[in-house]
Amino acid sequence: MSERVKEILSWYGADSPGTLANLARLLNHGRLGGTGKLVILPVDQGFEHGPARSFAGNPAAYDPRYHFGLAIEAGCNAYAAPLGFIEAGAREFAGEIPLILKTNDADSLLEEPDPDQATTASVRDALRLGCCAVGFTIYPGSAHQYRMFERARAIAEEAKRYGLVMVIWAYPRGSGLSEAGETAIDVIAYAAQIAAQLGAHIIKVKLPTAHVEKAAARKVYDAENIPIATQAERVRHVVQSAFDGRRIVIFSGGSAIFDDAALFDEFRAIHDGGGFGSIIGRNSFQRPRAEALNMLRTAMDIHAGKAVS
Amino acid sequence: MSERVKEILSWYGADSPGTLANLARLLNHGRLGGTGKLVILPVDQGFEHGPARSFAGNPAAYDPRYHFGLAIEAGCNAYAAPLGFIEAGAREFAGEIPLILKTNDADSLLEEPDPDQATTASVRDALRLGCCAVGFTIYPGSAHQYRMFERARAIAEEAKRYGLVMVIWAYPRGSGLSEAGETAIDVIAYAAQIAAQLGAHIIKVKLPTAHVEKAAARKVYDAENIPIATQAERVRHVVQSAFDGRRIVIFSGGSAIFDDAALFDEFRAIHDGGGFGSIIGRNSFQRPRAEALNMLRTAMDIHAGKAVS
Amino acid sequence: MSERVKEILSWYGADSPGTLANLARLLNHGRLGGTGKLVILPVDQGFEHGPARSFAGNPAAYDPRYHFGLAIEAGCNAYAAPLGFIEAGAREFAGEIPLILKTNDADSLLEEPDPDQATTASVRDALRLGCCAVGFTIYPGSAHQYRMFERARAIAEEAKRYGLVMVIWAYPRGSGLSEAGETAIDVIAYAAQIAAQLGAHIIKVKLPTAHVEKAAARKVYDAENIPIATQAERVRHVVQSAFDGRRIVIFSGGSAIFDDAALFDEFRAIHDGGGFGSIIGRNSFQRPRAEALNMLRTAMDIHAGKAVS
Amino acid sequence: MSERVKEILSWYGADSPGTLANLARLLNHGRLGGTGKLVILPVDQGFEHGPARSFAGNPAAYDPRYHFGLAIEAGCNAYAAPLGFIEAGAREFAGEIPLILKTNDADSLLEEPDPDQATTASVRDALRLGCCAVGFTIYPGSAHQYRMFERARAIAEEAKRYGLVMVIWAYPRGSGLSEAGETAIDVIAYAAQIAAQLGAHIIKVKLPTAHVEKAAARKVYDAENIPIATQAERVRHVVQSAFDGRRIVIFSGGSAIFDDAALFDEFRAIHDGGGFGSIIGRNSFQRPRAEALNMLRTAMDIHAGKAVS
Amino acid sequence: MSERVKEILSWYGADSPGTLANLARLLNHGRLGGTGKLVILPVDQGFEHGPARSFAGNPAAYDPRYHFGLAIEAGCNAYAAPLGFIEAGAREFAGEIPLILKTNDADSLLEEPDPDQATTASVRDALRLGCCAVGFTIYPGSAHQYRMFERARAIAEEAKRYGLVMVIWAYPRGSGLSEAGETAIDVIAYAAQIAAQLGAHIIKVKLPTAHVEKAAARKVYDAENIPIATQAERVRHVVQSAFDGRRIVIFSGGSAIFDDAALFDEFRAIHDGGGFGSIIGRNSFQRPRAEALNMLRTAMDIHAGKAVS
């Protein structure tokens, strides 16, 4: 067990050894094992965007086993997906990679200004499927946000009782926010804080922009000269906002980028800002497998601090 | 056990010895231990206002351990915070200071005329984290008030069954009240009464102004010549409104004040009016630690009735 | 056990001996014990109207123990109050007077055309506090009426399982009714019927006026020449409407009256009309204690059929 | 509420107001109401000895209603019986006398050196039947004693949660004791201590003899010169053994005595020794009703300290 | 929080912060607070030996309040007793001293070669009574040992879930052991190991003799030259046997000693051998209060390492 992983585990003093052991499994698996960094493959787009939008560009990805195989071969720390996708490969790939069961999901058949999600899996499901962690999405800023926080809290309490890790996807959106506000630096930092206060062990947010959404926040960012000009600075601020770096925060881009140079710049900013890694969905499974493997390995090298040209 | 603490415990005849023992822990801890007075450090602003607005002015405060340390070194009676902040220090500081677990919280990403909060922690959480008490916020005057009262009641019943103390933050707001009405003397006194009727052991309200919000109330205040001209008189009236002083009522200021003379005047008014103490959040952790310790100790001296120049 | 009390108990054939025993306790306690008549002291005005409007006129009444003492000394059959007030005296006055725990309450901070209440106590609370009965308020005519009926029914079912008595406060109001309609004879009689149909053992309504609110009702009242001209006739009609007098119906005045002659006339009308007694709140605890004791005893004499000049 | 009853209630500080209210009901009912003394009518002999042995001598006593009537007319504090007997009169006599539901019973069809009992009723039964208390028999000294203690404890915990009183019949017997040992002073005092440690509110033991059963005890009785020569001294020692008199201890004779002078001497000894009263079964219901009423009233007079020739 | 207490808490890494907080309360209370040493007053002799044998020598001790007062005035770390004794003082002394609720007990009315105990209290009882810990006795070597281990484990699991501390009284006895074997060094060391393996936080054993009971053990003690000649050496061996000193082990003498010099020698041996303190029952409450206070304070001084002549 590396010193860094031991240090990270020490931040979770209220958790049981069972939860720490599952957290250690996530941190010690794959090519980044032991570095304290994470690259996770998430595939919930089938539910969120529909199958054709998600998989038609790389039809092999219709098969749930494809994603298990990709995550394993790439050396990801974990694979995250909704109930059906996990069930479809859990036996065949049992024990090959840490699994994160998404326990709520949304579709895109009904547009609503204030989005919500459906609870789609349970902590019991996670145990019977051999998952290390459960995932839950909250939408801070939505009119449904408090009911979402309450469901997240209840699942977190149960997950901890059974020794699992709680991952919160904190995606600000809803009638309280402008579209730009969804990735504004003050809002993303706030979302990370909320997820940490709800008891998340791992927090997943989008990379923030330099926009500041709320007037009350802007006053403070200006008065205190909080550095938010570069992506790395913004990552650093978000990590600080999650209990001064004592919670694991990982980042995703906002949308599919097929310009790998830009993508690698994002990973470098995460690394330079002290972020704990990336969660890379569409950019991986929506391209051919060989390319995806290359990209994911490069991502891991960047997060591991290796020179990548 | 001082006579005053024994007297206070005698007011809670319907409670179990377990709840009395935890109430005694709160009353006997810290520099005010045994006086029957309380100064509590609450830090829920990370959730309520966001991390930068809360902590950027004193960046050490991003770290959850900072607040445990501040409350312990200052000699506060207790430290109150949401789940994540309590979890982040509960093992390291186990047994060093009584803890109050906030069990609901709101954020400020979505403005609503009728505010609500999310339930964010449970009585079971409080027990596993070693807390003496649970806290819950109600918004009398909001369209959501009755559902909030119901959740408060349910948590209070469970807390009492397990020997914990129930603290209610009673903050009037919502479409039933003008902005001035949120701190009007009739409204604050009413909020204290509601919290007491819901079964709170400790009630936290804001310092009231001399404004009287409701016409029906104004008639009585005028007819009975209820003295509300000075802050001390208003404190006395609020304390009387909480079962004739037989429930513990503590006060907070409405906003951050960095004019300590004004702050100390507030503490003096609370003391002179028979209030049981203060809950001091932003005014403590948003300034440098040494200044905060000085301020908190002066606050305790004033509440203890010592001459403070 | 008097013949009259035995007769009353015989009306409740679906109830357990436990519920009958508690009903007998209510009927056999105090100066009216054994007569089949009841005078109950209710004090929920602190919650419903706020502390100053309720208690400033007689400041001793801020102390919850005052009301226990008043009810006991006056010889009332029972004392009814919300959770906090009952908790504040339940140990000190254990066994001295039958207690009715109000299990829902409203405040007056937020005016709504369709009023509702919050559930503020449980059947378990009633048992641990030594109460004989639980009380619940319904607002027939409000848009919330069906949810209120459902909550009343659920509490009644649980109360009966544990041998408690169910008291329903049936107060018509809300967008379905004019202001005059809230005390109209057809509406009050209807509210008594609804409470009886929901399974109440004791029904509390306001004294009705001769106004008939609903056109459909008016046709019948006219066609059948239902006598409603005098207060006693209206009382008789309401009692008849509650299962032909086979449910206990007690009455309150609508607002504080300090003209005792008028008040005593109301009690006489209740007695003459076959009502089972009075529930007297503001008219008792808002006047000096000695006067209140005199008034309550006179009320009991009138209900007992004694000549009172 | 008499000072003496208030003093007795003050000994039960760990109990809820609900339990105190039911204890007050027992202490305030009947001819001894308010004196702090109790005379209770128990009729479990139908179960324990069979119907003919129990009732043939006074055939009216075959009818369960006979015993309710006897207890009520005599002015007993309470009537105690097994489930069936309570069920058979609970509605007809609802509210007329406090009831104690025996929750375990034994028969005499199978003689065993180590006796046991069957659990025959529940706390829920007690609530639906309107009982103030549950009763449970333990046999200290039997090979079954620990399982009996465990059942007693579980019922006591549930009874307290619902506001009922716990009465333990502590009858030493079994292979650990000689026949004389069943009423030996050291053994009876020990049984009272065990019942108190198990959480009983009221303890029922047999009048002890001057015999000392256990060698280890005899050494102490001799060394400390514990006065046990007279019946009053032995009662005093048993009461002292039940938490220095801070638990209610009542006594029964060992067998039916139809020599009333001897019986009254026993009552006098209980009174002189500071006992809290008597539980009188066979000596009351196995004689003609008028004689029983006379005897019971004399018993009450003696316990009340009245001169009885 | 002293470094030593922090070090001790660090041994209990599988426990929740709630359990650590209660363990800290035990370690930080009284005259030995902060030293890592404990002197506990246990009073279960009323149940175990009967009231006269326990209390007749110092009759003030019949009153349960006596023991609370003695433990508080002496400055003990905690007071341990069965349900009834704790209930009888829990309200009056709420919050004045950490309480340990004994959850099983035996009496001495029935001699059995294979002793057992009855479960006499629950974890829920401990919470409602404000206890920091539950205690449970096991008899390794008895034919009932495995059922006792199972009950101990179940209570430990529940206690840990609710943040309480588990104390195991490990008293070897039963048909597997000779009388000398009950305190043999191999057997006491083995009992401490069993208690630690069952998940105890604090283990209470008797001071061992130099006798080695089991032949298989004797071979090892001889072969390895384990030093067991002096009492201090034996204490050191027992402490080593409880996870190399990483579980708290406290000691009691085998029987009442009124030769204080001998008693103090025992305390010195415990201190010299690295024991964590003493549990002193009969030697404290069976002598006059002033003498008991002197003795207990001397015991604490010895355990604190102070020179005591």
pLDDT at D239 over 90: yes
Q: Is the distance from CB of D84 to CB of D62 less than 8 angstroms?
A: no
Residue E178: what are its φ and ψ, rounded to 5°? -75, 170
The Cα angle at residue C263 between residues C261 and C268, in degrees rounded to 5: 90
Per residue in A106-153, pLDDT (tens digit) is 999 998 889 999 999 999 999 999 999 999 999 999 999 999 999 999
CA distance B20 to chain D (A): 11
- Touch test A–E: 3 Cβ pairs or more under 8 Å: yes
Per residue in C268-284, pLDDT (tens digit) is 999 999 999 999 999 99
CB contact under 8 A, E16 and A13: no
pLDDT band at C308 (very low <50, low <70, confident <90, very high): confident
Identified catalytic residue from D37, D102, D204, D206: D204
How far apart CA A219 and CA A221 sit, in angstroms, is: 6
**According to the model, what pLDDT value does residue C257 have?**
66
User: Strand ranges (DSSP E) for E9-160?
Assistant: 38-42, 78-81, 99-102, 104-105, 118-119, 133-138
DSSP class per residue in B42-105: E--HHHHT-HHHHHTTSGGGGSHHHHHHHHHHHT-SEEEE-HHHHHTTTTTTTTSS-EEEE-EE
**According to the model, what pLDDT value does residue A276 have?**
98
pLDDT at D126 over 90: yes
State how beta strands A78-81 and A99-102 pair. Answer: parallel
How far apart CA B14 and CA B160 sit, in angstroms, is: 10
pLDDT band at D255 (very low <50, low <70, confident <90, very high): low
- Classify E209 as helix, strand or coil: strand
CB contact under 8 A, D128 and C162: yes
Of D185, D45, D42, D180, nearest to D107 by C-alpha is D45
Touching subunits of B (3+ CB pairs, under 8 Å) are A, C, D, E
Stated as kind and residue range, the H or E segment containing E236 is: helix E231-241
**According to the model, what pLDDT value does residue C307 have?**
77
Determine the distance from the C-alpha atom of residue E202 to the mean position of all C-alpha atoms in its chain, rounded to a whole number: 8
Residue C137: what are its φ and ψ, rounded to 5°? -100, 130
CB contact under 8 A, D176 and E110: yes
- For residue E292, CA distances in Å to A27, E58, E68, E299 come to 57, 11, 13, 10
CA distance E9 to chain B (A): 9
Q: Is the distance from CB of A204 to CB of A238 less than 8 angstroms?
A: no
What residues in chain A have per-residue pLDDT under 70? 254-258, 309
What residues in chain B have per-residue pLDDT under 70? 254-258, 309
DSSP class per residue in D185-211: HHHHHHHHHHHHHTT-SEEEEEPPBS-
Per-chain mean pLDDT for chain E = 96
Which amino acid, residue B240?
Q
Q: Give the chain A residue whose CA is nearest to the CA of B60.
A: A244
Q: Is the distance from CB of D295 to CB of D76 less than 8 angstroms?
A: no
Q: Give the chain E residue whose CA is nearest to the CA of A13.
A: E17
Q: What is the ipTM of this complex?
A: 0.96
Q: Give the chain B residue whose CA is nearest to the CA of C55.
A: B241
**According to the model, what pLDDT value does residue C258 have?**
67
CA distance D153 to chain E (A): 6
pLDDT at D257 over 90: no
Q: What is the mean pLDDT of residues C47-61?
A: 97
B16 vs D contacts (CB less than 8 Å): 14, 16
Touching subunits of D (3+ CB pairs, under 8 Å) are B, C, E
Q: Is the distance from CB of D68 to CB of D79 less than 8 angstroms?
A: yes
**According to the model, what pLDDT value does residue B257 have?**
66
Which amino acid, residue D200?
A
How far apart CA D141 and CA D206 sit, in angstroms, is: 15
Angle between helices C231-241 and C185-197 (to 10 degrees): 30
State how beta strands C38-42 and C277-279 pair. Answer: parallel
CB contact under 8 A, D17 and B14: yes
- Touch test B–A: 3 Cβ pairs or more under 8 Å: yes
- Touch test C–D: 3 Cβ pairs or more under 8 Å: yes
Of B309, B264, B304, nearest to B38 by C-alpha is B304
| Active site amino acids of B | 204
Query: Counting every residue, how long is chain C?
Result: 309
Q: Give the chain D residue whose CA is nearest to the CA of B162.
A: D161
* CB-CB neighbours of C116 under 10 Å: 20
- Please tell me which of the candidates A141, A189, A200 has its beta carbon nearest to residue B52: A189
- For residue D50, CA distances in Å to D47, D54, D65, D172, D189 come to 6, 6, 18, 22, 30
Q: What is the mean pLDDT of residues E144-161?
A: 98
How far apart CA C207 and CA D293 sit, in angstroms, is: 48
pLDDT at C145 over 70: yes
B187 vs C contacts (CB less than 8 Å): 109
The Cα angle at residue D232 between residues D227 and D238, in degrees rounded to 5: 70
List b or e across C19-56, with b for residues whose CB sees 16 or more CB atoms inside 10 angstroms. bbbbbbbbbbbbbbbbbbbbbbbbbbbbbbbbbbbbbb
- Please tell me which of the candidates E20, E94, E127 has its beta carbon nearest to residue B130: E20
Longest CA span, chain B: 56
Which amino acid, residue D133?
A
* CB-CB neighbours of A48 under 10 Å: 18
- Please tell me which of the candidates C88, C92, C118 has its beta carbon nearest to residue B243: C88
CB contact under 8 A, E13 and A17: yes
D14 vs B contacts (CB less than 8 Å): 16-17
